[in-house]
Amino acid sequence: MWSMLSKRWLINGLLALVIGVSLLLGYRDQSGSEARNPITSLKPADVMSVTIQLGDEHIVLRRSADQWLIESPVQWPARSITIERILGITVSESEASIAATGIDLSALGLQDPKVTLSLNDTRIFFGTTNNIDNRRYLMIGTTIYLLADIHQPFLTQGIVGLIDKRLLPPSIPLQSFQLDGGPKLIRDGTTSWQSDAPTDIPADRLDQLIDYWQTLEAPAVKIFKQSGSPLEKIVAGLDDGSEIEFLLMSIYPELVIARPDLGVEYHFHERQQQELLSFTKPKS
């Protein structure tokens, strides 16, 4: 153990020396301007596919038009802002790098990395953090970099950190919607909704209910671990005739709506039940 620690401290010292020399030289090129050392040649807009390996968990995402989609292990829209933050690593600048040749990768957590990020064909291995300023070791090809540890937290959350936090993102081709015990709502061919049976529910409230399901973001998304029976079932119908089933698992102390097929549950504030589960117009 002491041998591994001493090796790691030696490597940390070497990288610290590289940083020091870089700072001493002012990190400038011959023109006198600051030099840039991005860790990849990619730009965020160049990336069309993202693969995240977390131990046995394998997550694949692809860019589609103006949004990101999770392709595996489930198929559902991703939270684009999270993916864009991850893609920021492509243009991140490292203050220090060193060739991996002859380095004991196990001392840096890079021999069998717990996290691997693939952007198109570029693979980035995430190692441990160093003992100097808590930056993380990354390896791309045969080069090791030290980088601020701001990207791995987005990756290690897994599917719950990547999935869209809205129950029915607007890109989902919604055709019908029904709360348990309520009328079935049908899209009238435009952006408006109507009941399939006579009702005294104001038309604007029908539209507002669907809008909340499409736009409200859950403060938290967690892995679905069913405990107890659902309070009710909500069904959304799609253009192709398929259906999406939601389970209302809890109202208090927080509103929890589950998607068993995705293996996730959306946690909302209790007060949001009127917005998502009632035909009564919420108070302003």
| The predicted structure's pLDDT at residue 24 | 34
| The predicted structure's pLDDT at residue 13 | 57
| The predicted structure's pLDDT at residue 68 | 97
| The predicted structure's pLDDT at residue 164 | 98
| Sheet strand arrangement including 96-99 | 76-77, 67-72, 57-64, 49-54, 115-119, 122-129, 136-140, 143-147, 96-99
The answer to whether the beta carbons of residues 173 and 244 sit under 8 Å apart is: no
| The predicted structure's pLDDT at residue 14 | 61
| The predicted structure's pLDDT at residue 71 | 97
The answer to whether the beta carbons of residues 79 and 91 sit under 8 Å apart is: no
What would the pLDDT profile of 185-206 be if each residue is shown by its tens digit? 998 877 789 998 888 888 899 9
Report helix, strand or coil for 73: coil
What would the pLDDT profile of 143-190 be if each residue is shown by its tens digit? 999 999 999 999 999 999 999 999 999 999 999 999 998 899 998 877
| The predicted structure's pLDDT at residue 163 | 98
| The predicted structure's pLDDT at residue 131 | 76
| The predicted structure's pLDDT at residue 5 | 52
What global pTM score does this model have? 0.85
| The predicted structure's pLDDT at residue 28 | 39
| The predicted structure's pLDDT at residue 19 | 38
| The predicted structure's pLDDT at residue 26 | 38
Residues of the chain scoring pLDDT < 70: 1-36, 283-284
| The predicted structure's pLDDT at residue 284 | 60
Domains of the chain: 2-158 (no CATH), 165-277 (2.60.40)
Residue type, 251: I
Helix (H) or strand (E) holding 208: helix 203-215
Q: Counting beta carbons within 10 angstroms of the beta carbon of residue 42, is it exposed (0 to 12), middle (13 to 18) or buried (19 or more)?
A: middle
Token pair listed for 56: 């046995």
